[in-house]
Amino acid sequence: MITDTELKEKWFKFFESKGFKRIDSYSIVPENDPTVLFTTAGMHPLVPYLLGAKHPAGNHICDIQRCMRTNDIDSVGDSSHLTSFEMLGNWFLGECDKEKMIKYSYEFLTSKEYLGIDKNRLAVSVFEGDETAPKDELAYNTWKKCGIDQVFYLSKEHNWWALGGGVGPCGPDTEMFYDTGKPKCGPNCSPACDCGKYLEIWNDVFMQFKVENAGEKAVLLARPNIDTGMGLERTVVVLNGLKSVYDAGVFKQVIDFIGSKAEVGYQDSESSKKSYRIITDHLRSAMFVLGDERGVVPSNVGQGYILRRFIRRAVNHARNIKFDTKYFADIIDIYVDKHGVDYKDIARNRQFIKDELVKEVEKFSKALDEGHKEFEKVLNGIEKHKQFAAQKGEVVENIISGKAVFRLFDTFGFPFEITKELAEERGYAVDEEGFKKAFEEHQEKSRTASAGTFKGGLADSSYESAKLHTATHLLMAGLRKMFGPQVMQKGSNITPERLRLDFNLDHKMLPEELAELEKFVNDAVAQEIDVVCEEMSIDKAKQSGAVGVFESKYGSVVKVYTIGNVSKEICGGPHAKNTRDLHHVKIVKEESSSSGIRRIKAILD
């Protein structure tokens, strides 16, 4: 058996022996990024460096990144889907030595000192080529030289990476699979099949090209890169011959704990097994979000909305297996004991995580009561409508509209599953498609922006965004001067048109306070101060008085942006060159973002 801790240790030992610099995990809540709600992959925080920015740790780096993807949240409960996971990654920045990376991959996978997999149990896929780019013969031949017999050419669908929309950096990849030993499903069986013979464990992306305009042929990238990713949890399952991610490590520990307290057993039914797994997954994801340095709490929009959904779904499934939610705090302790070792902000925020979780559970319990009352009102309304229609000779079906179901869900926190269950008990159906449509419309509104290329964590690489980024630093400096050093940035969203800044504060800002803050910022603009970027060690950054969360930034070397004697912050950039470029900063709104978190919106005019 190999544990996840052992796999992490082997990963760093191997790549550090090859000259790669270890860096810390970034936040699971992206900084200044309007394109996604959470860090979705190990490469996500590194996009600025893949696009050309210089990384403080150098050109060869490796890490283990906490990630979250919620697009498959409804699939959680099966044997493999997770909303939060850890991704092992390494990068060549500014170079694409494909042959070297493939040989590294082969060595790590097959060497007895590391994973020790029999090479005959490995299969790999490479890009077959199309009108965009040629067949990846170098990757194919390198794997063959390593001694891998099962090398498959596959299409762009399987072996091509690109940014959202297909425009920008892109390139072929090679994916590595473990052959389970199952018989082939047919003569064309390959890693592209879903038959279960081949299980993916690693992916090397060769970012060699770029596409200028959609549909055009790719051209060589002036500054190529290599980006790799190995899913920790899935790889542990494969290496140990297990059937499910929930059979290993901390997940099994939590499953066993739930089983010791619940009235319904894990193996009693497929439904109970699904409930166990959803509680296990969702409470870990809630722990990652609540424990993050960005200070997200449950709310009705953005990350807070997803967090609230995690907790409320966990409560709903706890009811299904008769598991008392008072034990949620014990599960959080299990997870913090495990993950707090690698992610110091989680260990630091243990009590905060449990306190916020308890508050949301209590709030939801009340919401369930209110939801039951509202559900009865909905049915009464339908019954009255049926009676009125009957007088006119019309027939009304026993269906609860999608909008009504979504209102129960969104306004009263009433889970869709409960609405559907109660409706069926009363002889009603629910408009699932209508609910999904209303839910998707809400998600679109709550997302910070549509997906696209981004740089430096901003919506784009424009100088307008960079200037507004600098304005956030000035605003934070003013807030800390006015209210004290305990005020910290809790998130931001920057586009070329405006900035949005979240920060902790215990009150709504008064008009005179907003005027004072705006004056502070524009005084700095009027002074025409150069914005200076320096690279230095974390210790030196601390000694210099730079503001930042030092435990989870860029590694041992960081970038510090200094604006005269006004502001000094650790940041990935980019920024304006001089404060005069901001012209004038105008605060257009101050409002509540969530409990204890205020939000300022500002523009340049």
The more confident residue out of 356 and 294 is 356
* Bigger pLDDT: 165 vs 576: 576
Question: Averaged over 286-313, what is the pLDDT?
Answer: 88
Contacts of 477 (CB under 8 A, 6+ apart): 520, 524, 563, 566, 567
| pLDDT tens profile 443-477 | 665 444 333 333 444 555 578 888 999 999 999 99
Which pLDDT score is estimated for 281?
97
What's the whole-number mean pLDDT along residues 22-32?
Answer: 86
Mean pLDDT value across the chain = 88
The tokens of 526 are what? 């009027």
Q: Whose CA is closest to 400, among 355, 421, 58? A: 421
Q: Read off the pLDDT band of 50 (50, 70, 90).
A: confident
Residues 61 and 193 in one domain: yes
Q: Kindly report, residue by residue over 306-321, the tens digit of the pLDDT.
A: 999 899 889 989 988 9
Predicted confidence band of residue 252 (pLDDT cuts 50, 70, 90) = very high
- 578-587 residue pLDDT tens: 999 999 999 9
Residue 308: C-alpha distances to residues 54, 134, 313, 426 (Å): 37, 46, 8, 28
Residue 573's region, left for phi above 0, alpha for psi from -120 to 50, else beta, is left
Shared-domain flag, residues 164 and 189: yes
Residue 508 has pLDDT above 50, yes or no: yes
Structure confidence by residue, pLDDT tens digits, 431-446: 999 998 888 777 665 4
Based on the fold, state whether residues 262 and 171 are members of the same structural domain: no
Domain check: are 212 and 290 in the same one? Answer: no
**pLDDT of 221:** 87
**With the C-alpha atoms ordered 21, 26, 32, 36, is the resulting torsion angle positive or negative?**
positive
- pLDDT interval class at 385 (50, 70, 90): confident
Which band of pLDDT confidence, cut at 50, 70 and 90, is reported for residue 593? confident
> Measured in whole angstroms, how far is the alpha carbon of residue 72 from the centre of its chain?
12
How confident is residue 35, by pLDDT bands cut at 50, 70 and 90?
Answer: low
- 430 shares its domain with 470: no
Residues 229 and 365 occupy one common structural domain = no
> What's residue 460's pLDDT?
54
Q: Are residues 134 and 162 in the same domain?
A: yes
The secondary structure of 558-574 as a DSSP string is: EEEEEETTTEEEE----
Q: How many C-beta atoms lie closer than 10 Å to residue 322's C-beta?
A: 12
Q: Which two tokens stand for residue 90?
A: 């390494």
Report phi then psi at 322, rounded to 5. Answer: 55, 55
The residue to which tokens 């502070």 are assigned: 520
The verdict on 423 and 518 lying in the same domain is no
SS3 60: strand
CA dist 108 to 10, 105, 191, 347, Å?
9, 5, 21, 31
Residue 132 lies in a domain: yes
Give, as one character, the DSSP assignment of residue 530.
Answer: B
**Over residues 278-284, mean pLDDT:** 97
Question: Do 204 and 241 fall within a single domain?
Answer: yes
Q: Which two tokens stand for residue 602?
A: 């500002």
User: Residue 455 domain-assigned?
Assistant: no
The CATH number of the domain holding residue 508 is 3.30.980.10
Residues 100 and 225 in one domain: yes
pTM: 0.71
Q: Is residue 454, in this structure, part of any structural domain at all?
A: no
pLDDT of residue 32: 61
pLDDT digits (tens, 9 = 90+) for 335-346: 999 999 999 999
Which pLDDT tens digit goes with each residue over 77-129? 888 889 999 999 999 999 999 999 999 999 999 999 999 999 999 999 999 99
Residue 125 lies in a domain: yes
Mean pLDDT across 533-551 = 78
Where among 214, 246, 278 does a domain terminate? 246
| Number of domains making up the chain | 3
Mean pLDDT of 399-410: 88
Contacts of 595 (CB under 8 A, 6+ apart): 297
| Residue after which a domain boundary falls, among 206, 231, 246 | 246
What CATH number is given to the structural domain containing 80? Answer: 3.30.930.10
> 364 and 506 share a domain?
no
Residue 451 lies in a domain: no
Residues 372 and 467 in one domain: no
Residue 283 lies in a domain: yes
Tell me if 44 is assigned to some domain: yes
Residue 538 is predicted with a pLDDT of 77
Q: Look up the domain containing 558 and give its range.
A: 463-604
Separation between Cα atoms, residue 23 and residue 56, nearest integer Å: 10
Does residue 224 lie in a domain region? yes
Looking at the chain, the whole-number percentage of residues with pLDDT higher than 90 is 57
For 489-492, the CB contacts below 8 A with 24+ separation are 490/294, 490/295, 490/296, 490/593, 490/597, 491/29, 491/31, 491/294, 491/295, 491/296, 491/593, 492/31, 492/32
Task: Say if residue 539's pLDDT is above 60.
Answer: yes
Is the model's pLDDT at 525 over the cut of 50? Answer: yes
**Is the separation of the CB atoms in 253 and 298 below 8 Å?**
no
Considering 246, 280, 300, which residue would you say is the last residue of a domain? 246
